[in-house]
Chains A and B, each alone.
Chain A
Amino acid sequence: MIALEYLLLIGLIVCAVAANFTRNLLPTILIYATFGTMLSVIWLLLKAPDLAITEAAVGVGIDTILFLLAIRSMRHFVGTGDEK
């Protein structure tokens, strides 16, 4: 159990660091969604099923949709939508 906890926690940190160093925006969003999924499992481990459901619906679902929409709208224009 502790091994799973460590795996998830280290996964969270790796995701958060990696999101800062991606070159394109789409991987950032995927990393964000992964982060949310892992967090949702952690809520289950911490005996908070309400949070797990809400995180899965809001943090993974709605947030990801918003991010995707935002980069889609950015691609209508000149420039790549990539960083810098």
Chain B
Amino acid sequence: MKTPVWYQKLLRWTEGDSPVLPEPAAHREQTREPAAEESAYESGPGLLSASAGRVRNVLLRVITIASCAVFLLIMLATVAYLPRFGDADNAPENETSRRYIEQGMQEVGATNLVTNIILVYRGFDTYGESCVLFLGATAVIMLLAVDAKNTTEEDRRVLARSDALDRENRNQILGHITTILMPVILLYGLYILCNGHLSPGGGFAGGSILGGALILCENGYGVGKVHSFFGHRIYHVVKVGALILYAVLICYTIYVGANGLPNVIPLGKPGSILSAGIILPINVAVGLEVACTMYAFYTYFGRGDL
């Protein structure tokens, strides 16, 4: 007696094969001819044949432009319904802004009101942001740090050759200009960093400028110059130290503030350099962390190592 079709189908189903849907494309590859597989890949940029690919591309482009246009129209209409730009009685004109502006300096101590907000009123957000930067650096290291999986002997040879070339043909003009520019850039960076509570700037801007100075040093004085005083160990210690200092300060503020305990850090006289309580040390910590991170981005992108 012949086994009924449905029974065969059931058997196939228990094998992990599904009979109901049309033969799944992915399943077929178990029996597919290898030659057919090759040709499928070699035909053009898409997974389809060349002409079908072209049709698909045109179609894709039309859909792209159409969907973007529709979205744009919706958004523009929304903008037309939003409150008028620059009006004094818009929604942000509320008790939040009033307290930030009128009491911010007395309560927190910095004359730069933006600094007050990002480092004290919304200090938790900004700590999260520093952690994003830390994570970004860690992710870049994870991807680009030289290891057995991502680097071949050839890569190492190329890098060594370019280093040797660099040492031989050291550009004297670049070196001298670096010597002239370096103190100016460092001074500017430190000024922006330490005056974050008095004038525009602060840890993020100042830190990036200091990071830029490190990058210039690496370029102007040749590979390995920065490494001689800023190796792995110092890099890790500075970065982790800065983040931990920041965390300790911010945790202290949060814990004390939330539990209604007295805050013993003095605020000082607004407008002077040693004022605004935790803001100056936090700015320094952030600046160090940002400078380390920017320099790490640079070296890991260029060389895969510090």
Q: Classify A-B as touching or not with yes or no (CB < 8 A).
A: yes
Asked if A57 lies at the interface with its beta carbon under 8 angstroms from chain B, I say yes
Interface string of A47-59 (1 = CB under 8 A from B): 0111011100110
Given A58-B208, A62-B208: A53 and B201 interface contact (C-beta under 8 Å): yes
Given known contacts A66-B297, A66-B301, A61 and B208 CB-to-CB distance under 8 angstroms: yes
Report which of A50, A58, A69 forms a contact with B302, defined as CB distance below 8 A.
A69
Are the C-beta atoms of A58 and B301 separated by less than 8 Å? no
Chain B residues lying within 8 Å of A62, measured Cβ to Cβ, are: 208, 211-212, 294, 297
- Asked if A69 and B208 sit within 8 Å, CB to CB, the answer is no
Bound together, the chains give a CA A62 to CA B212 distance in angstroms of 7
**Chain B interface main SS type:** helix
Main secondary structure of the interface of A (DSSP, over half): helix
Number of residues of chain B lying within 8 A (CB) of chain A: 20
Closest to B210 in A: A57
Q: Is B190 part of the binding interface, using a Cβ–Cβ cutoff of 8 Å? A: no
Given contacts A50-B205, A54-B205, contact A69 B301 (CB under 8 A): yes
Q: What B residues does A54 contact at CB under 8 A?
A: 201, 204-205, 208
Does B100 belong to the interface (CB within 8 Å)?
Answer: no
Complex: how many Å from CA A65 to CA B212? 9
Chain B residues, Cβ within 8 Å of A7: none
- For residue A70, which residues in chain B have a CB less than 8 angstroms away from its CB? 301
Which residue on chain A has the smallest CB distance to residue B115? A50
Interface residues of A in 31-84 (CB under 8 A from B): 48-50, 52-54, 57-58, 61-62, 65-66, 69-70, 72-73, 76
Give A36 to B142 CA distance when docked, in angstroms.
29
Complex alpha-carbon distance, A70 and B158, angstroms = 16
Q: Is the CB of B215 within 8 A of A50?
A: no
Whether the Cβ atoms of A50 and B202 lie closer than 8 Å is yes
Complex CA–CA separation, A19 to B299 (angstroms): 26
Whole-angstrom distance between the alpha carbons of A26 and B302 in the complex?
A: 17
Chain A neighbourhood of B301, CB < 8 A: 66, 69-70, 73
Residue contact A73 to B302, C-beta cutoff 8 Å: yes
B192 within 8 A of A: yes
Closest CB in chain A relative to B225 CB, distance in Å: 17
Which residue of chain B has the shortest Cβ distance to A58 in the bound complex? B208
Whether a CB of chain A sits under 8 angstroms from the CB of B124 is no
- The answer to whether B112 and A57 touch across the interface, beta carbons within 8 angstroms, is no
B298 at interface, CB cutoff 8 A = yes
A68 to B202, CA, bound (A): 26
Residues of A within 8 A of B114 (CB): 48, 50
Q: How far is the CA of A58 from the CA of B133 in the complex (A)?
A: 12
Given contacts A62-B294, A66-B301, A69-B301, are A49 and B200 in contact (CB under 8 A)?
yes
B209 within 8 A of A: yes
In the complex, which residues 33-57 of chain B have their Cβ closer than 8 Å to any Cβ of chain A? none
> Which residue in chain A gives the minimum CB-CB distance to B201?
A53
Contacts of B208 in A (CB 8 A): 54, 57-58, 61-62
Note all chain A residues with C-beta closer than 8 A to B302.
69, 72-73
10 contacts between A and B (CB under 8 A): A50-B112, A50-B115, A50-B201, A50-B205, A54-B201, A54-B204, A54-B205, A58-B205, A66-B301, A70-B301
Q: Which residues of B are interface residues toward A (Cβ below 8 A)?
A: 112, 114-115, 158, 192, 200-202, 204-205, 208-209, 211-212, 215, 294, 297-298, 301-302
- Listed in ascending order, the chain A residues whose CB lies under 8 Å from chain B are 48-50, 52-54, 57-58, 61-62, 65-66, 69-70, 72-73, 76
Taking A62-B297, A72-B302, A73-B302 as given, write out 12 further A-B residue pairs in contact, using a Cβ cutoff of 8 Å, ordered by the A residue number: A48-B114, A50-B112, A50-B115, A50-B202, A53-B205, A54-B201, A57-B209, A58-B204, A62-B294, A65-B212, A66-B297, A76-B158
